[in-house]
Each structure stands twice: as C-alpha cells, then as structure tokens.
C-alpha cells in the first residue's frame, strides 16, 4: 500500500486516512521526499484527521519526515491532529514546536499559501 | 488498499496513482459515493495521470462512478487521461461525452470551481 501524494500549484497534499503500518510509513517518507524533489514543491500539507491513534514508530517517522522536508526547502503543515495523537506526540517527546498546524486540509492550505506569500 | 479522498472546500479530490485491482476499484466507487453524501460535495476531481493502462472492468467502474456521482448532484472532472487510456475508453464504448476533462489536477479544480460559480 502506498499513500498518494497530490500536487496542487506549488504544494503537495497528503491525506492519511488509515492507520499506517511501519512499512507503509517508511515508503511514504521516501515517496514524499522524492516528490518534493521532482516537483520543486515549496509546501506540504499532511492531513491526519482520520488517524486517532499513533504508535511511537509512526510518530517518529512523522517527526522525521517533517524535518527532512524542511531540509529540502519545503514548509510542512500538519492538519487535523486528534486529541489522542497530540497526547502521544507530546508524551513521546516528538517536538513539533516549529511546525505549522491547522484544523483541516483547507485551512492548512490557506496557512501555507499565506506563509509562502501566494 | 483504499484510495484516500480529500475534501477541499466543496470539492473532493482523488488521485489514483497506481493501477487498480477490481476490488479496490469497487471499494473506491463505494467510498466516493459515501463521501459525496457525507460532505455534500458539489464537485469531484479524479486525477488519473499516473494510470497508463486500464482494462475493461476498471473503465466500466470509472464510467459508472461518474454517472453515479452526477446522480448525487456532484460534477466530475477527470484529469490527466493518458493517450492509451483515451484509446481504451473510446474502443470500449465508455462514453465520457458530457464529462469535463482537464490536463492536470490544478486545471481540473479551476474548471470545476468556474463551473460551480465559485
């Protein structure tokens, strides 16, 4: 299983709608970075509204993918973080301090476009 | 495997990035119609840029999903139809006469929003 990555203007959109297994998460990380490179994307919105539980491995992959994207020059907005996910992220010490967040995909995209000055 | 369906304003976005097997195609049909109902979406963009071959079953499901979405009140734009896919669709007699098409997801969304008067 792979997670589709959509390109819209200079942003990439990803919606994770089912719990990820470890292999899918790593594949997603690789695919996303490759896509940022291919498309010269300046921003990424990752919507995790449908995820209401994440384990430590997935949380780490998510944290990593945000840092890696940033290194490649793309701003990341995470949208739709559920209460339980927020708790897990903080308890595991995954620091998302300087990551933008928003309520849903639409607001995330708006925020990103503001940030990118579109 | 299921295909994520993203909601952006009053449109749904779907990007089919890998060849569908029959089961996934039927699941997609069901998921999309359910999502149109849940979200009151007025438009759907289905991007098939990455699909360079479709068989008769998938072509039929695609034709059906377009008609069904229309019955539910949502306009459909298909984007990124590859030459081989266009040939298959016409040869199989899948009529997409009154379906809007566009080159890519972005142009499809623009077309849809014009059509919806946003």
Question: pLDDT digit string (tens) for A72-82?
Answer: 999 999 999 99
Question: Is A5's CB within 8 Å of B17's CB?
Answer: yes
Sorted by sequence, the CB contacts under 8 Å of residue A2 that are 6+ apart come out as A24, A27, A28, A31, B17, B18
A77 contact B CB<8A:
no
Could you tell me the domains of chain A? 5-116 (3.30.750.24)
Question: Is A4's CB within 8 Å of B13's CB?
Answer: no
Question: Is B17's CB within 8 Å of A9's CB?
Answer: no
- The pLDDT tens digits for A14-57 are 999 888 899 999 999 999 999 999 999 999 999 999 998 888 89
End-to-end Cα spacing for chain A? 34
Note the pTM of the prediction, 2 decimals.
0.87
Backbone angles phi, psi at B87, to 5 degrees: -60, -50
Q: Name the residue with higher pLDDT: B14 or A93.
A: B14
B34 contact A CB<8A:
no
- The pLDDT tens digits for B55-66 are 889 988 988 999
CB–CB of A5/A12 below 8 Å? yes
| Closest residue of chain B to A31, computed from CA coordinates | B17
> What value of ipTM does the predicted structure carry?
0.80
């Amino acid at each position: 299983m792979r997670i589709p990555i959509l390109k819209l203007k200079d942003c990439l959109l990803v919606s994770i709608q089912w719990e990820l297994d470890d292999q899918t998460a790593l594949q997603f990380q690789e695919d996303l970075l490759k896509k940022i490179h291919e498309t010269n994307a300046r921003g990424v919105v990752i919507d995790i509204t449908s995820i209401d539980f994440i384990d430590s491995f997935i949380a780490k992959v998510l944290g990593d993918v945000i840092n890696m994207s940033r290194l490649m020059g793309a701003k990341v907005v995470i949208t739709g973080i559920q209460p339980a996910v927020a708790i897990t992220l903080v308890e595991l010490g995954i620091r998302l301090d300087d990551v933008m967040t928003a309520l849903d995909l639409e607001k995330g995209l708006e925020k990103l476009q503001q940030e990118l000055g579109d």
